[in-house]
Chains A and B, each alone.
Chain A
């Protein structure tokens, strides 16, 4: 797998709604910019060999890095695949919608839920929002959040950006009634 670069973003929110957030709300994202394994091959019917060759390696590359970048136990998590303009969204989905990819992060984060995801196609510098949900119960409303990312120079037309996101807490100043109160 050809990885061109790895980008790490760590976000701290110290104030929200005009009030201090203590401790600061932390979100971390690690993104790998990789060569699209199916680039230049026309329509590839069977994506399984490429998935088997790369998905686990990507999960193993990104999971420890996002854990380290967050520096805390993740309470919410998510993932992203942003495909360059010459590829199919299916190529990005192929690499992230497999347990081979996500299990590395689930294990590291002691998580039990599936990772929510964004998949899209766009030019270098495209904005994408990674959805995050609670790592053990995707119905926990306080932890529904998303994180906006932009890589200035990726993905190129023949590349894919694969990313993991982790949050150390729910939304800053979260104060919505739980789902159970409406049931």
Chain B
């Protein structure tokens, strides 16, 4: 599938130079659910994650080191590379309904190094803009050896509290991150969970500790009156 992307990329051409080998590998993972619990999803959705393996430029630097120069050089480039591929995998900006992001830092780095690449405007604002979102982008991070799977959370790109769109997708690079690398992930989905049916804030009753206790008492009374039969089929 070819997706035409319109972006003001010219400014990135002038971004600070990076070593030719700053980016080692990119893995796109796309999942399409056709059946869940025996039924086709009412609203079919495609999920995808895109994971890029970059050299950690801060390995060996002290914990006081300012991370900003490398962030400004690397994060916008990562935002472009990752969202380009995500949009191709999901069918374009309009198709994307939920998004998320993540980082896996190799064992010689700090979690802060991964956070530097995904939590500043140099990455987050651009990812949000390229994916047509407004929400804060939810995230996961970890420090791990190569081959660790990261479960990346996602929520709705313009209405984060939309419960039907709370979902996750995995990202994994078989040989990354090496100890001196960072895996940076952007994830997206074109719709809700396969059989989303747990209501929403608009349909929720008011639940407090007191109402929950009342409900538990009522459920206990029902169990007694039905001879403790297992209600499951």
Contacts and interface: CB of A to CB of B under 8 A. Distances in A.
B27 A10 contact: yes
Contacts, number: 68
A15 B32 contact: no
B227 interface: no
Interface residues of B, number: 25
Contact of B25 (A2, A8, A14, A125): A14
A3 interface: yes
B31 A11 contact: no
Q: B-side binding surface: helix, strand, loop or mixed?
A: strand
Interface stretch (B16-24, B62-70, B94-102, B122-130): B16-24
A10 B28 CA distance: 5
A22 to B, nearest CB: 9
Nearest to B21: A15
Interface stretch (B3-11, B33-41, B185-193, B215-223): B33-41
A12 interface: yes
Contacts of A11: 25-28
Contacts of A18: 21
Indicate the size class of the contact surface on chain A: 20 to 34
B149 interface: yes
A157 B89 CA distance: 29
Interface of A: 2-16, 18-20, 24, 68, 125, 148, 150, 152
Given A4-B35, A8-B29, A14-B24, 15 more contacts: A3-B34, A3-B35, A4-B33, A4-B36, A5-B31, A7-B29, A7-B30, A8-B31, A10-B28, A11-B26, A12-B27, A15-B21, A15-B24, A20-B21, A152-B149
Interface of B: 1, 20-21, 23-36, 85, 89, 149, 151, 170, 172, 174-175
